[in-house]
Structure 1
Amino acid sequence: MLAQPPLWLIVLAFLGSIGVLVFVHEMGHYLVGRWCGIGAKTFSIGFGREIAGWTDGRGTRWKIGWLPLGGYVRFEGDMDPASMGRDLDMLTPQQRAVSFHAKPVWQRFLVVLAGPAANFLLAVLIFAGFFLVFGAPRTPPVVAMVAPQSAAAKAGLQVGDRILEMDGRQVKTFNELGQYTVLRPGERVLVRLQRSGQVIDVPVTLGTASEVDRFGQIYRVGRLGVAMPPPVYQKVGPLRALPEGVQATWQTTRSMAEGLWQLVTGRRPLNELHGAMKMAQIAGQYASVGPFEFIQLLALFSINLGFINLLPVPMLDGGHLALYTVEAVRRRPLGERAQEWVFRGGMAALLTLFLFTTFNDLGSFGLWEQIGQLTG
């Protein structure tokens, strides 16, 4: 078991990862905004008081805030943090020509969508780079060994069986098989397999295991109980690397969506939902292992940031996209008062989520257990 990384490495890894991801996210907003002819007042990495910055020739203030938990691009016409576009009649004709809220709804939609899209694109490029250098995983989903008393053994799976589908989802590699099962501890699934040229459907109740990573952290995961054959990695050329990167990003995003749905529906405990403090710890852990592991984690964090921002929650990009969709359908935006209540609700939800995940993060560090021992 590896020792926990020092605090200075955790801080540096977190700042480095979140800084890159926020920069990429906001650069997506900025570039598409410029393409649409929208002026940008501020490009900020971090919130709060400016600790460093400069102003470019277009008048955009590029700065770093002291609180490194996000960032923003403030376009012309943004009169408030919620970007509601109020008081547009106070703008001069020159300001209105480059104002965000004076643009057609489809352009505003694209500008907002570009932030999460940039995060997904970063993940695609990282995966594609790894596939170019190391090859894409191609280990076939063939059973090389069946663990005694495992879910596979109880269901009658045999060495040499080739897994074709899990609950109707096609399985092409052993990696895909692992991604599917790990999220479903204790669940009953229908496994379609090929045995001696015949296709057979076998119901399997997956096992549940507590997996301990190299830093001593415990995770509850699903287990089928089969061993993989010798790993296979296939080198891909530049023309195949990007499609492979897109596929890997899609599979990871789908797994995140499934995990979130399991939390919402109660199939997974809510104490598995974590926030910035746990993210910082994980960043430090991967940075202590090596640069390749840290870059892979950066891809996962980037997908997570893009996915979370697409959720239809007010104050997030997904909330704005939902409002623009409503505006496009109604051919007019929601009233100012309705938007204000929507964003107030969104802010309350985000603050509640922040407090909840912080509580879980502190619990994962053992703080509540230590307090209980002191007061018991």
Structure 2
Amino acid sequence: MIETPGFLFTLVAFILVLGPLVFVHEMGHYLAGRWFGVKAEAFSVGFGREIAGFTDRRGTRWQFGWLPLGGYVRFAGDMNPASQPDPEWLALPAAERAQTFQAKPLWQRAIVVAAGPAINFALAILILAGFAYAYGQSKTLPVIGLVAEQSAAANAGLQVGDRITAIGGRSVETFDDLASYARIRPQERVRVDYVRGDAPATTDLQIGVVREQDRFGNQFELGRIGIGPVEPVRVPVSLLQAPLIGIERTGEIVGMMVDTIGQIITGRRSIDELGGPLRIAQVSGQQMSLGMVEYVGLIALISINLGFINLLPVPMLDGGHLLFYAIEAVRRRPVKPEVFEWAFRGGLVALLALMFFVTVNDLGAFGVWRSLAGLIG
């Protein structure tokens, strides 16, 4: 039976995911700016017209916009997209000018910009560290205890007792490493290195594919090798070890994101899998209905996504600003404002085009286009 969370439930779940994550991201910028003495004129969660807010004693306007799909911190002196000095900035009194973003050294500006994505990664690390401390860490050895009939492993000649040491050129330490690698690579042909007895060996294997459907009707294609472990092993994690495991797990998720983007670029994965706010909202409602653990896990995943996407070298994003700061550091002078202006416009067009595309994808996933075609037909 397919279960579908209600619209209001989904909307609340979405806001409770995106709102706090946007707040955390912008708080990273705000705190770093405040540390370096930059005045924040506005801190907004959401875009568009203000629906609620207040002004603190430092003169910062804290507000909520009606469109909860992002946010921003506007620092004093942000008078142009390049955040570079201009006549209007030069006309400010010296005391006010000293509190502006443009007045700060390059390294401080870079830290302020990088602090947003950094705090998103820090939040995800904290959540994943908490999971590791609460539930332990899988240490199941990559030794085959079961080979499914007519599976990819069986066709490749793998046998019970084989210890897999690498797959696709990547070393393997646990059974989970195998599963994670195969999961996002259905039908790909890879090399598998293993040890049988005491003798190392190699074989080629085409990862199998299974089609699954969850309780909400979502369908997935997942890669499967067709093997099982000898005995699952999970070990407890100390409070000191947990953060290291959180960092390691976050790095693994980022690596999977990079791999997935590479698959989309090279055509090995359908671009239909790209989703936007509507699909995030849908998944938020579904995960919240499953329980708090699943919901908090989703928050960690989206926080990593938010940090990763913002570090992409696209003008308008934090990564675009950092790219221009790197160029400035090499050239020892800022990029010309008109160059940044054009890059900013190009980045805006690219982001709007991507937002339009993923929204079309989301509507397609919800069956909107099929319904319209049926009405027209």
TM-score using structure 2 length: 0.96
Cα-to-partner distance string for 1:32-84 (whole Å, 9 max, x where unaligned): 11111111111111111111112222111111111100011111111146645
Correspondence for 1:27: 27
Residue 46 of structure 2 contacts residue 64 of structure 2 at CA under 8 Å; is this kept in 1?
A: yes
SS across alignment from 1:144: strand
Work out the CA distance in 2 between the residues paired with 1:111 and 1:167: 39
**2:193 partner SS:** strand
Whether the aligned pair in 2 keeps the contact of 1:78 and 1:85 (CA below 8 Å) is no
Q: What SS does structure 1 have at the residue aligned with 2:190?
A: strand
**Other-structure match for 2:119:** 118
CA distance in 1, matches of 2:373, 2:144: 46
1:125–1:262 Cα change, 3 Å: same
Structure 2: distance between partners of 1:283 and 1:314: 29
Structure 1 residues 267-346: aligned runs within 5 Å: 267-346=268-347
Which one-letter code corresponds to 1:22 in the other structure? V
- 1:211 to partner: Cα distance: 2.6
Match of 1:105 in 2: 106
CA distance in 2, matches of 1:20, 1:198: 53
User: Equivalents in 2 of 1:61, 1:163: separation in Å?
Assistant: 57
Instruction: Give the SS at the match of 1:342.
Output: helix
1:253 and 2:254 are equivalent in the alignment? yes
| Letter aligned with residue 41 of structure 1 | E
How far apart, in 2, do the equivalents of 1:81 and 1:14 lie?
A: 30
Equivalent in the alignment of 1:17:
17
- Please report how far the alpha carbon of residue 193 of structure 1 lies from its aligned counterpart in structure 2 after TM superposition: 1.4
Partner of 2:3: 3
- Does 2:85 correspond to 1:79? no
Cα distance change of structure 1 residues 135 and 2 upon mapping to structure 2, 3 Å threshold: farther
Alpha-carbon deviation of 1:334?
1.3
The code of the aligned residue for 2:102 comes to H
Give secondary structure in 1 for the equivalent of 2:45. strand
Q: Distance in 1 between matches of 2:50 and 2:180?
A: 42
2-side partners of 1:180 and 1:151: how far apart?
A: 14
The aligned amino acid for 2:174 is: T
Other-structure match for 1:215: 216
Q: Which residue of 1 aligns with 2:56?
A: 56
* TM superposition shift of 1:144: 2.4
Q: In the alignment, residue 57 of structure 1 is paired with which amino acid?
A: R
Measure, in 2, the Cα distance between the counterparts of 1:76 and 1:90. 13
Q: What is the rounded CA distance, in whole Å, between the counterparts of 1:97 and 1:177 in structure 2?
A: 54
AA matched with 2:344 = F
Q: Is 1:372 aligned to 2:357, yes or no?
A: no
Distance 1:112 1:216, change over 3 A: same
Distance 1:305 1:159, change over 3 A: same
Cα displacement (A) at 1:235? 1.1
Match of 1:227 in 2: 228
Give the count of matched residue pairs. 376
Give aligned-pair identity as a percent. 53
Letter in 1 for 2:161: G
- Alignment partner of 1:268: what SS? coil
Letter in 1 for 2:309: I
Which residue in 2 is equivalent to 1:150? Answer: 151
Q: Is contact 1:82-1:315 (8 Å) kept?
A: no
Structure 1 residues 230 and 56, CA, compared in 2 at 3 Å: closer, same or farther? farther
What displacement does 1:213 show? 2.5
Q: What amino acid is the match of 2:351?
A: L
Query: Secondary structure at the residue paired with 1:314?
Result: coil
Matched letter for residue 223 of structure 1: R
Q: CA deviation at 1:2?
A: 4.5
Q: 1:82 to 1:354 in 2, by over 3 A?
A: farther
AA in 2 matched with 1:47: F
Partners of 2:314 and 2:94 in 1: CA distance: 33
Could you say what secondary structure the match of 2:334 adopts?
A: coil
Instruction: Name structure 1 gaps, 5 residues minimum.
Output: none
**In the alignment, which residue of structure 2 is the partner of 1:352?**
353
Deviations 1:96-134 (A, max 9, x none): 111111111111111111111111100100011111111
How many angstroms does 1:252 deviate by?
A: 0.5
Q: CA deviation at 1:145?
A: 1.6
Partner of residue 44, structure 1 = 44
Aligned residue type for 1:117: A
* Counterpart AA for 2:280: M
Structure 2 CA distance, aligned partners of 1:82 and 1:363?
A: 37
Q: How far apart, in 1, do the equivalents of 2:96 and 2:51 lie?
A: 28
Higher mean C-alpha displacement, 134-143 vs 246-255: 134-143
Give the aligned CA root-mean-square deviation in angstroms. Answer: 1.4
> Under a length normalisation based on structure 1, what TM-score does the superposition of the two structures give?
0.96
Q: 1:255 to 1:92 in 2, by over 3 A?
A: same
Q: Cα distance 1:44–1:178, how it changes in 2: closer, same or farther (>3 A)?
A: same
CA displacement 1:159-197 (0-9 Å, x = unmatched)? 222221112212222222111111112211111112223
Aligned residue number for residue 70 of structure 2: 70
CA distance in 1, matches of 2:160, 2:80: 63
- 4+ long deviations beyond 3 Å: 80-87, 228-231
